[in-house]
Amino acid sequence: MTLTAYGPWHDGHSNGWWPVFPIGFGLFWLLVLGGGFLLLSRRMRSNGGGAERVLAERYARGEIDDEEYRERLGVLRS
């Protein structure tokens, strides 16, 4: 007999929570890791448009002309 047979999780008639625990534990970590991945991917996507935003601001201030703006925007998007 093992120690698991003497705890409150085992009434002697069933396996108790033991079959459910690994599944729940795995789902918990899957949700934690999936949520972390989702947050990181959103943060990386939101930072990706920073160069285009700066370029648009320079164009709006008149620092660069229309041709240069379109050329640099094409380079950024390629």
pLDDT tens sequence across 23-32: 888 999 999 9
How confident is the model at residue 52, as a pLDDT?
86
Q: How far apart are CA 75 and CA 40, in angstroms?
A: 25
Summarize pLDDT for 15-62 with one digit per residue, the tens. Answer: 666 667 788 889 999 999 999 999 998 887 766 567 888 999 999 999
Residues 18, 4 contacting (CB under 8 angstroms) = yes
- Cα(20)–Cα(30) distance, integer angstroms: 15
SS3 37: helix
pTM of the model: 0.43
